[in-house]
Amino acid sequence: MIKKTLIIGICLLILVIIACSVLFLQQNLENRKYVNQLLSKQTQFEGILTQLQTDIKNLKNGEAVTEDWLTFNSERLKLTFDYPSKFGTIREEYDPTEGRIKLYVGNDLFLVANNPNFKPVQEINRGGYWGDYSSFITNLNDIQNFCTTPRNISNFQIDQKNTTCEVKVARSGGSYAKIYEKKSLLTEEEYVNNVFSYYVYFAGEYNGLVLSSADLQNNWDDTEQILDRIVETMTHKI
């Protein structure tokens, strides 16, 4: 009788040990699953933190915080630069009447490059527009003195009351002039939206570049930052 009772006791003890082991293992698996979930969330948070740090760095550098940036490459201009994907496809056209290369976002002109050696067959019969300034950029001094020395053409003077002008150095090391305009430098027509224009010199066939927001119909909140980054990332291949 005692032996039978002892055997039953031992069996019950074994069952208790097995039950405790199963419970421990189950709890351990749940804990491991929970730990894995925490590690997964940590990875997600680290990715978000990295993106936030990048965005903050871009804002400090005056760049637009845009998810997708592409690279435009023009073999004719020997020029590359970054642009946001929301621009769509940048269209490049050669204007045979002006001898200039023009870049468009949709149907909106935003960059004009001038060839100083081009001789028009006949006189261009039209009014002036911001792209005409590309023909007055012939050397680096034109950029360095852009904000202080009036160009040698009618009405092309910096209106200090309606214009903010500064000469800056791009990451590539080149200089450019940036103008914040309330009215056109040439026609003195007041703009509906403030316009940002950039004047760049590159030694090459097309050496005078003007980039402007004047004709951009989409007035994005970060238009200025977008144009800043385009100019800052311009690389000219000699």
C-alpha dihedral sign at 171, 87, 68, 191: positive
Mean per-residue pLDDT, 207-222: 86
**In the predicted model, what is the mean pLDDT of the chain?**
75
Mean per-residue pLDDT, 108-115: 93
Q: What are phi and psi of 65, to 5 degrees?
A: -90, 95
Q: In the numeric block, which tokens belong to residue 5?
A: 């009772």
Percent of the chain with pLDDT over 90: 26
Predicted local distance difference test score (pLDDT) of residue 107? 93
Higher-pLDDT residue of 223, 125: 223
Predicted local distance difference test score (pLDDT) of residue 154? 42
> Is 60 exceeded by the pLDDT of residue 105?
yes
Predicted local distance difference test score (pLDDT) of residue 110? 94
- When mean pLDDT is compared across 7-16, 79-88, 213-222, the lowest value belongs to 7-16
Predicted local distance difference test score (pLDDT) of residue 152? 47
Class of domain 69-236: alpha beta
CA atoms within 13 Å, Cβ hemisphere of 39 = 6
> Is 80 exceeded by the pLDDT of residue 209?
yes
Reference 232, options 46, 49, 58, 91; nearest CA is 58
Q: What is the pLDDT of residues 28-62, one digit of tens each?
A: 666 666 545 544 545 454 445 544 555 555 555 55
Predicted local distance difference test score (pLDDT) of residue 97? 87
Three-state SS at 15: helix
Contact 236, 204 (CB under 8 A): yes
Percent of the chain with pLDDT over 70: 58
C-alpha dihedral sign at 203, 205, 211, 214: positive
Predicted local distance difference test score (pLDDT) of residue 47? 47
> Is 60 exceeded by the pLDDT of residue 164?
yes
Residue 203 pLDDT grade (very low, low, confident, very high; cuts 50, 70, 90): confident
The H-assigned helical ranges of the chain are 2-60, 140-144, 223-232
Reference 177, options 201, 195, 205; nearest CA is 201
Q: In the numeric block, which tokens belong to residue 160?
A: 């200090």
The H-assigned helical ranges of 61-147 are 140-144
Domain boundaries along the sequence of the chain? 1-60, 69-236
| CA distance linking residue 175 with residue 66, whole number of Å | 25
> Is 70 exceeded by the pLDDT of residue 206?
yes
Residue 148 pLDDT grade (very low, low, confident, very high; cuts 50, 70, 90): confident
